[in-house]
Amino acid sequence: MNSLPAPIDLLPHRPPFLLVDELIEMDAGVSATGRWRLTGDEYFFAGHFPGRPTLPGVLMCESIAQVGACALLADERFVGKLPLFGGLDNARFRRQVVPGDELTIEVELGRLSARAGKGSGRVLVDGDVATSCDLMFVFADA
């Protein structure tokens, strides 16, 4: 049984913009791994693309940010804070992700201060890297 908190209990995001179903590993303030299962019923598939539904790459980057935010918000140093995107670097999209795929989202946090930080992450599908990117974020009061 998973004794980790649910992403919805850590993040302010709510469906349809909660892009992680569960956390499967976490070292608060250091790293986290999450899972997102695509059913095909997600709102974006209808228009991206009709006849060939494909998960938008920017949503994979957002899922990386959300898993990273879970690791941050589980750390007592950041209670009452909201991590916001400050930048996105080195984004690479390496394979198509489609309905029925299960995404494993891995994030490692780097430099952290009381006001900002960095991290990097990747999305894997069946063990293959689908997306990777580096994140920069700033903290706002929640």
Residues recognised as catalytic: 48
Using CA atoms, how far residue 79 sits from 5, 7, 66, in Å, is 14, 15, 16
Strand residues in 2-98 grouped as ranges (E): 22-27, 31-37, 81-93
Nearest to 9 by CA among 107, 77, 79, 62: 79
Evaluate whether 117 touches 85 at the Cβ level (below 8 Å): no
